[in-house]
Structure 1
Amino acid sequence: MDSSLKILSMNCRGLGDKQKRRDVFQYLKQKHTNIVCLQDVHFDDKKEPIIICGYTTAAWGVTILFNNNFEYKLNKICKDTISGNFIIIDIEVSQKRFILANIYGPNEDYPKSYKNIQSKLQNFQCGNMIICGDWNLTLNPEKDTFNYKHVSNPKATLQVLKLCDELDLVDVWRCSNENKRIYTWAKSNPIKRARLDFFSCFRKFYECHL
């Protein structure tokens, strides 16, 4: 895979407002990424080259956007048409194929959602896999949460750990930052923090690109 490939993932907390959508798209363009995976989106603008999987109620929907100057080939697309919480694509870049999944995990402890995602992923036949998004849980509560009294979504967490084990996936950031603490979500009252957003990929793929 082209080593210059840049993928960005972000929970944008809704894009229904036109001004917010413009601001977010302007921010993304300044990042000069090839592929953008957004979670919690709500918009119907077709001017951007996108694959969208939206849901009719609030706080759902995921999108994959591509830079206009980015050359790629889509071989297969799998979208969650029920709850709108994932998109999985088989994509070819520079004559190299990989699976890219963008997920928005449920807020509640619902392991079936991740079991369904694993089933869909296993239907794809490809040597490389990248999964990103807002998982709404942490793989290592001890290192990835602050001021939590209990493990959030424990059953779903166990299901994701099982998914990672059976598909041989690793938490990319954690592998490179074994003891560092950083958070992607915060609450002020009471103060709570967690790293709910992360990339995972095949272990062998990560090790080959160290």
Structure 2
Amino acid sequence: MNSLNIVSWNVRGLGSGPKRLKVLSHLIDLKADIALLQETHLCNPSDRLMCCSQFPVMYSSSYNSKQRGVAVLFNKNITVTHNDTVTDPEGRFVIINICIQYKDYCIASIYGPNVDDSSFFHRFFTSLSVHSDSTIIIGGDVNLILDPELDRLNTAAHQRTWRSASILKQYMNDLGLCDAWRSCHPSTKGFTFFSPVHHSHSRLDYLLVSKSLFKEIKSSNIHPIIISDLAP
């Protein structure tokens, strides 16, 4: 295995069979080795419905069939040794500690609150800190922007910056994490979500990785919005 292709995607619900098939098919089209999904809206044991021949291994955290839910799916081509899993009872994150080709990784799928709730990020990073010695990969919809100038295009009134953004950036600094897409596109405006209510484009979805991985990143892309209303 020369490289890993990691896809993070808020899928906005996987309750229907046809949509699950569309999402899985698109993950295959994107050649995902590891898929970090948010807002799965699946609850045990129905979350196993996402497992298929191409993605036979999944770790998830569920809430109910209408809200939240996150998952990490592994392609059948990836050999993974599982060490530990931390699941959030509110269905907002799942953290797994695994070994791929003799290297330890801490991989998390995260779905942040759509309100300014800094306590959530404290809770998440406290749970993650147990595995901070591993190479960290966090993917998800954090529901906030890190750079108001570059990560938002708003035609309405100016929106305030949440305190949660400062908390997240502090944890990134403490744990030595970089924003993979921004690191590859330092001055580009790219967006993963359009709000028709606020007439704004925002980049709410991120892949945050240990800075030690940066030199190994070949590319980082925001794909077109299809199936869900957020871009993978």
Same fold (TM over 0.5): yes
User: Aligned pair count?
Assistant: 207
Query: Equivalent residue for 1:170?
Result: 178
Contact kept? 2:105, 2:136, Cα under 8 Å: yes
Separation in 1 of the partners of 2:65 and 2:48? 20
What is the letter of the counterpart of residue 23 of structure 1? K
Structure 2 portions without partners, runs of 5+? 52-56, 219-232
CA shift for structure 1 position 95: 1.3
What is the letter of the counterpart of residue 7 of structure 2? L
Separation in 2 of the partners of 1:111 and 1:122? 17
Query: Equivalent residue for 1:144?
Result: 151
Picking from 161, 164, 175, the partner of 1:156 is 164
Instruction: Identify the range of structure 1 (40-49 vs 128-137) with the bigger mean alpha-carbon deviation.
Output: 40-49
Q: Deviations over 1:138-174 (max 9, x none)?
A: 111111011161235x111111011111111111111
1:98 aligns with 2:97: no
Q: Which SS does the other structure have where 1:193 is aligned?
A: strand
For the structure 1 residues 128 and 187, does the alpha-carbon distance in structure 2 shift closer, same or farther, using more than 3 Å as the test?
same
CA shift for structure 1 position 16: 0.6
Query: Equivalent residue for 1:54?
Result: 62
Contact kept? 1:13, 1:59, Cα under 8 Å: no
1:84 aligns with 2:86: no
Q: Deviations over 1:55-77 (max 9, x none)?
A: 02633010111112321111111
Q: Quick one: percent identity of the two aligned structures?
A: 29
Query: Equivalent residue for 2:25?
Result: 26
1:69 aligns with 2:63: no
For the structure 1 residues 58 and 94, does the alpha-carbon distance in structure 2 shift closer, same or farther, using more than 3 Å as the test?
same
Query: Equivalent residue for 2:223?
Result: none
Q: Which SS does the other structure have where 1:71 is aligned?
A: coil
Contact kept? 1:144, 1:183, Cα under 8 Å: yes
TM-score (norm 1): 0.92
TM-score (norm 2): 0.83
Q: Deviations over 1:94-124 (max 9, x none)?
A: 1111111110000011000000111111111
Instruction: Identify the range of structure 1 (30-39 vs 6-15) with the bigger mean alpha-carbon deviation.
Output: 30-39
1:133 aligns with 2:132: no
Of structures 1 and 2, the one scoring higher in RCO (CA 8 A, sep 6+) is 2
Q: Which SS does the other structure have where 1:88 is aligned?
A: strand
What is the letter of the counterpart of residue 24 of structure 2? F
Contact kept? 2:132, 2:175, Cα under 8 Å: no
CA shift for structure 1 position 30: 2.2
Q: Which SS does the other structure have where 2:36 is aligned?
A: strand
Separation in 2 of the partners of 1:102 and 1:45? 15
Structure 1 portions without partners, runs of 5+? none
Separation in 2 of the partners of 1:122 and 1:190? 36
Separation in 2 of the partners of 1:143 and 1:151? 14
- The Cα RMSD (Å) is 1.7
Q: Which SS does the other structure have where 1:46 is aligned?
A: helix
